[in-house]
């Protein structure tokens, strides 16, 4: 896949770019692996109240069901296609197992159509294979990592992301995550070999607001441009700063330099180096 700048025929096209999907093998998803109904992210909770601002609209999208557990141990699967997924930054791969079942997984970098992948302790160290962390050598890039074995992958799932196995001790494996956080994960948890595909996604420049509206993002207004009744940063004559020592949210909460992690969180004992540590 290639990151391309568009021909500058207008001001917005001059600033925008795309990821050319010439390497993808099919445009229509596997119907049996689509969730029922449309998937909408409107930023509302179950009572209809807005809990996440600036979301709404966007193109109609279908949710692909991804195999996060990789629990078909010892059964080889052929990569039938590499596809675009509108719900995530990474590309996905359609696997066709020897027993006839089909499943979607996140496509790692370097995975190609007709490649054979498998999961389990006896799987080889090859992009797309899933193994317990205890069986993965030190220094190997991995993604799609479980935190608790059998619960499915929870971390390192975004385009271009990869964690690194640093060392092993007893029943734990020490990983360096993409955020530079270093933490312990159960040695029995599964992870997939390789880096997540579509690494050039972060280079994309959207160029104009309309392109973001198609993606389901609504406009965001600066606090300093608002009336003082609507935001702590609002008011003042002409262009003025926020007028206080620390930035505030629309509800008056400090938003810079405030630690938000729970001091009593269960997983604190597994943290070796926090991602914010200098």
Q: How does DSSP assign 16-79, residue by residue? A: -EEEE-TT--BSS--GGGBPSS-----SB-TTS-BSSTTB--------B-B-SS---BT--EEE
Tokens at residue 238, please?
Answer: 């002409």
Tokens at residue 1, please?
Answer: 């896949």
117 near 82, Cβ under 8 Å?
no
pLDDT in the model for residue 1: 61
204 near 18, Cβ under 8 Å?
yes
What sign for the dihedral angle of Cα 214, 28, 92, 151?
positive
48, 80, 125, 195 from 116: Cα distances, Å:
45, 10, 12, 17
Tokens at residue 271, please?
Answer: 């943290």
pLDDT in the model for residue 111: 95
Euclidean distance between CA atoms 233 and 253, whole angstroms: 12
pLDDT in the model for residue 20: 85
Euclidean distance between CA atoms 65 and 169, whole angstroms: 35
Residue ranges of the chain with per-residue pLDDT less than 50: none
* Residue given tokens 């999907």 in the structure block: 21
pLDDT in the model for residue 41: 75
* Residue 260 burial class via C-beta count within 10 angstroms: exposed 0-12, middle 13-18, buried 19 and up: exposed
- What's the topology of domain 2-202? OB fold (Dihydrolipoamide Acetyltransferase, E2P) (2.40.50)
109 near 194, Cβ under 8 Å?
yes
Helices (H), 71-226: 209-214
pLDDT in the model for residue 3: 73
Euclidean distance between CA atoms 108 and 94, whole angstroms: 12
39 near 57, Cβ under 8 Å?
no
Euclidean distance between CA atoms 244 and 170, whole angstroms: 50
Euclidean distance between CA atoms 86 and 29, whole angstroms: 11
The DSSP call for residue 119 is B
């Amino acid at each position: 896949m290639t990151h391309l700048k568009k021909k500058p025929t207008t001001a917005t096209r001059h600033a925008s770019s795309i990821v050319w999907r010439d390497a993808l093998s099919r445009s229509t998803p596997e119907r049996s692996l689509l969730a029922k109904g449309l998937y909408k992210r409107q930023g509302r909770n179950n009572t209809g109240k807005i809990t996440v601002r600036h979301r709404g609209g966007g193109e109609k999208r279908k949710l692909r069901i991804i195999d996060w557990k990789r629990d078909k141990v010892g059964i080889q699967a052929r990569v039938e296609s590499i596809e675009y997924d509108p719900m995530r930054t990474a590309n996905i791969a359609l696997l066709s197992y020897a027993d006839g079942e089909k499943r979607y997984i996140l496509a790692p970098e370097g995975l190609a159509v007709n490649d054979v992948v498998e999961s389990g302790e006896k799987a080889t160290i090859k992009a797309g294979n899933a193994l317990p962390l205890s069986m993965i050598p030190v220094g190997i890039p991995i993604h799609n990592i479980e935190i608790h074995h059998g619960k499915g992958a929870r971390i390192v799932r975004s385009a271009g992301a990869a964690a690194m196995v640093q060392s092993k001790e007893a029943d734990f494996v020490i990983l360096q995550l993409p955020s530079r956080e270093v933490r312990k994960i159960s040695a029995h948890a599964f992870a997939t070999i390789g880096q997540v595909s579509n690494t050039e996604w972060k280079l994309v420049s959207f160029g104009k607001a309309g392109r973001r509206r198609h993606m389901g993002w609504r406009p965001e207004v600066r606090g300093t441009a608002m009336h003082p009744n609507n935001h702590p940063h609002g008011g003042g004559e002409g262009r003025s700063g926020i007028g206080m020592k620390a930035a505030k949210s629309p509800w008056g909460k400090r938003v810079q330099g405030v630690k938000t992690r729970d001091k009593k969180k269960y997983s604190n004992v597994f943290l070796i180096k926090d991602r914010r540590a200098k």
